[in-house]
Amino acid sequence: MLNYEMILSRDSYLLAIELRLFWLASLIYGLALILYIFHIITRANVFGKAAATAMLVGVIAQAGLIVLRAFEAGRAPFQTLYESLSWFALCASVTYLYESRRWKNIYFPGVFVSALSMGACLYALFAGSPAIEPLSPALQSYWFEWHVILAFFSYAVFAVSASIEAAYLILSPFVKKGGATGYGVNTENIRDFHRSAFRLVLFGYPLLTFAIFSGAAWANNTWGRYWSWDPKETWSLITWTVFTIYLHSKTIPALKGWPASVFNIIGFICVMMAFPGVNWLASL
């Protein structure tokens, strides 16, 4: 049997490896961001391709990191601020790479996604604690686990949707003037951005709905109250409401164009408020 000293040094060693891997993943996302910026400046596909490859390497590093943490903690590693941000970065990058696989030589929206993934990683590393500690009794619940996993997954999907929507809003005027072809975008395929953003919201919306539902079920099971209007809950409800508006606007001919895009971007701002905006406000 291992003695205490051995256990402590083994755990410290594994954590040191994990932290280095996490920093490495952040740096790779940072590199991807720089390459995407070069692509935007030069319009050269070679930078776009390199950036997408860097993102893929970042994803592999991040996935390895999450597996390592699951092994270290002996539980699903999605519960603390540090862990959930890592999960967010992975989900956002994977969702973007998956969604953009159909596009030929289009890399523009990646600049936002790589910035978000890098930002999430740096926020986790600078503001979160990597300590693996036992969960408090209230947090030892499957409802809570699924709540966090799905909430962050949906936030990541919405973030990617907003990135693509932002690219659509930025590039549309240039496409109309015939100027954005350098980014592989033309009047035919720019509509695909809009459709992609919509499909991502369709994918993320039930996830957020289940996240809110499981959060309420968890609170009800633990404290007996399924809703208490605390700022985090309320912001997630605002986010959900804004995406409901977005989905409805897609069924109204007058709103399904740029107004829907604006609702989508507002939805993303709400995601940022639900997390990490609320934490930031609370610290003021």
Which residues of this chain interact with other proteins, rule CB under 8 A? 1-4, 7-8, 11-13, 15-16, 19-20, 22-23, 125-126, 129-134, 136-138, 140-141, 199, 202-203, 205-206, 209-210, 213, 216-218, 220-226, 229, 231, 234-235, 237-238, 241-242, 244-245, 248-249, 251-252, 255, 278
Closest contact distance (angstroms) between CB of 40 and other proteins is 28
Residue 250 interacting entry, from ligand HEM, other proteins, none, C-beta within 5 to 8 Å by type: ligand HEM
* C-beta of 216 vs 247, nearer to ligand HEM: 247
Among 24, 56, 247, 255, binds ligand HEM (CB under 6 A): 247
Determine the Cα–Cα distance for residues 272 and 170; give it in Å rounded to an integer.
Answer: 20
Closest contact distance (angstroms) between CB of 202 and ligand HEM is 6
Residue 67 interacting entry, from ligand HEM, other proteins, none, C-beta within 5 to 8 Å by type: none
**Residue 195 in the binding site for ligand HEM (CB under 6 A):** no
* C-beta of 135 vs 245, nearer to ligand HEM: 245
Site map for ligand HEM, 251-270, x if CB under 6 A?
x-------------------
**Residue 39 in the binding site for ligand HEM (CB under 6 A):** no
Which tokens sit at 81? 């601020």
- Report how far Cα 116 is from the mean position of its chain's Cα atoms: 7
Determine the Cα–Cα distance for residues 258 and 172; give it in Å rounded to an integer.
Answer: 10
**Residue 244 in the binding site for ligand HEM (CB under 6 A):** yes
**Residue 3 in the binding site for ligand HEM (CB under 6 A):** no
**Quick one: which segment of 2-10, 81-89, 242-250, 255-263 binds ligand HEM (CB under 6 A)?**
242-250
> Hey, what's the torsion of the CAs at 152, 157, 161, 162, to 10 degrees?
10
**Residue 199 in the binding site for ligand HEM (CB under 6 A):** no
Interacting residue ranges for ligand HEM, rule: CB under 6 A? 205, 244, 247-248, 250-251
